Amino acid sequence: MTIDALVEQARAAQPSWAATSVRERTKIIEKFRALVFDERDAIAHTVTAETGKPFAESLVADISMTLDGARFLCRVAERTLAPERKRSRTMAAWRKSIAIHHDPFGVVGIVSPWNYPFFFPAMHSMTALITGNTVLLKPSEHTPLCAEHIGRLLARAGLPANVFTLVQGDGRVGAELVNANVDKIFFTGSERTGRSIAVACAPRFVPVSLELGGSDAAIVLEDANFDIATSGIVWGRFTNAGQTCVAVKRVIAVGAAHDALVSRIAASVSQLTVGPSDDANTDVGPLVTAEQATAMAAQLEDAIALGATVAARVDGAHSGGAWSPAVVLTNVTKAMRVWHEETFGPVLAVMRASSEADAVALANESHYGLSASVWSRDRRRARRIGAQLQVGAVVINDSVINAGLPEVAHGGVKASGMGRIHGTQGLLECVRTRTVIDDFLPNVRQPWWFGYDANTASNLDDYLRLAHGRTIVERLSGIPGALRMMLRRRGTL
């Protein structure tokens, strides 16, 4: 069946799905969460088999974050999606009731990545479904089996037919979905593909939510706890073999922090085990694709050719697969690709900053703006620095965690994309707002409608005195004209 036909099936199923209550949809997502928990071992093994990440990371990231996200959605969806009652103090609204409703877009297309092949598509799908949309999910062609788990468990949870449709295939299938008659597109992936999706959707005014690349900086101040910073940065860079959008990719060490930090990071990375995922002692597994390994090798070669120093390198013992060594680079300059491009693999670039202001400037020079971390014992100082960073999230004395908190809206600025996922903002990304303004005096005309006379402007001015006068006397002076205006009828006052 063609993509267009599948979209039309989803569109036909959407009205009845949207007509179900949020509470009923929540029950299905809750059942899905329970099934994911029951089958967590099998799902995590599928994640590990398709990506090569250690089994422990599959449990921590893809399984745990999916369970946390489902629980969050079930807890807040009904309250977040309920009509919002508003009050207005304007002249036009004194006799109005105002409500803002949240309506589903209709058919939502989701194109998801391979680095977190269960969590990302599951979280996007659950959010779109619980808000009343029908979903077409196109997972990465490199991790198709993880998405099969999602479709199977949603069906077992009681989701009606054609409300969720799994579409397997490569980038050409993703392009077909983007260009089909969908009402919104969610995409997580590369900047290049995200730009092409935005361009494709713009002529049709199809809204898009794009979570794209990042070159996240970790600013380490002289007063940081270097042992804690080292541990957090090394994990934040090399978890999932560095294939994480919010991974620490650039370390900016201020002044004397540089040497103290580099020696610790180099020693820590040297102790990492790079190897196959079926070894329980493996810290860093292979990359998902050979193309990514080639890209990492090219970035590493460029840095060394331009003068970078290899402070630590772990190749590991392995054969076959898409492997990249775990590497720490110092003497990094802004001319190097590892500094101004996204490094989606296990390579960490370190640069020295002369001052706090210099560190902020270096962090902000990137055309990405996904997230950043600041490491300091002085939390007030760290927050002050964080306020100057051009990113979607700042984490103090930790890393990566922002993308895994379901209560926190996740997304970036600049070339890191647009829109937000997770949190209540993520729910609201899946709905259109519809405002209903209801007049509770429907048989009484408004005093400012046509039928102007010599007193209209004077009475309106008196109303402005009453509503916005600077002093009590000025406000009281507007009462007579305001009353005349509010009681005005054609041919009377």
Instruction: Kindly report, residue by residue over 11-46, the tens digit of the pLDDT.
Output: 999 999 999 999 999 999 999 999 999 999 999 999
Question: Residue range 67-86: average pLDDT?
Answer: 97
pLDDT greater than 90 at residue 318: no
User: Which CATH class, in words, describes the domain spanning 3-212+422-434?
Assistant: alpha beta
3-class secondary structure per residue, the chain:
CCHHHHHHHHHHHHHHHHHCCHHHHHHHHHHHHHHHHHCHHHHHHHHHHHHCCCHHHHHHHHHHHHHHHHHHHHHHHHHHHCCEEECCCCHHHCCEEEEEEEEECCEEEEECCCCCCCHHHHHHHHHHHHCCCEEEEECCCCCHHHHHHHHHHHHHCCCCCCCEEECCCCHHHHHHHHCCCCCEEEEECCHHHHHHHHHHHHHHCCCEEEECCCCEEEEECCCCCHHHHHHHHHHHHHHHHHCCCCCEEEEEEECCHHHHHHHHHHHHHHCCCECCCCCCCCCECCECCHHHHHHHHHHHHHHHHCCCEEEEEECCCCCCCECCCEEEEECCCCCCHHHHCCCCCCEEEEEEECCHHHHHHHHHCCCEECEEEEECCCHHHHHHHHCCCCCCEEEECCCCHHHHCCCCCECCEECCEECCECHHHHHHCCEEEEEEEEECCCCCCCCCCCCCCCCHHHHHHHHHHHHHCCCHHHHHHCHHHHHHHHCCCCCCC
Q: Would you place residue 488 in the very low, low, confident or very high pLDDT band (cuts 50, 70, 90)?
A: low
Instruction: Kindly report, residue by residue over 421-453, the tens digit of the pLDDT.
Output: 999 999 999 999 999 999 988 888 888 888 888
Q: By percentage, how much of the chain surpasses pLDDT 90?
A: 89
Query: Topology of domain 216-406, per CATH?
Result: Aldehyde Dehydrogenase; Chain A, domain 2 (3.40.309)
Q: Would you place residue 148 in the very low, low, confident or very high pLDDT band (cuts 50, 70, 90)?
A: very high
Question: Residue range 297-309: average pLDDT?
Answer: 97
Lowest mean pLDDT among 45-49, 72-76, 290-294: 290-294
What amino acid positions are annotated as catalytic residues? 211, 245
- This prediction's pTM: 0.94
pLDDT value, residue 454:
87
Question: Residue range 276-291: average pLDDT?
Answer: 92
Domain definitions of the chain by residue range: 3-212+422-434, 216-406, 445-486
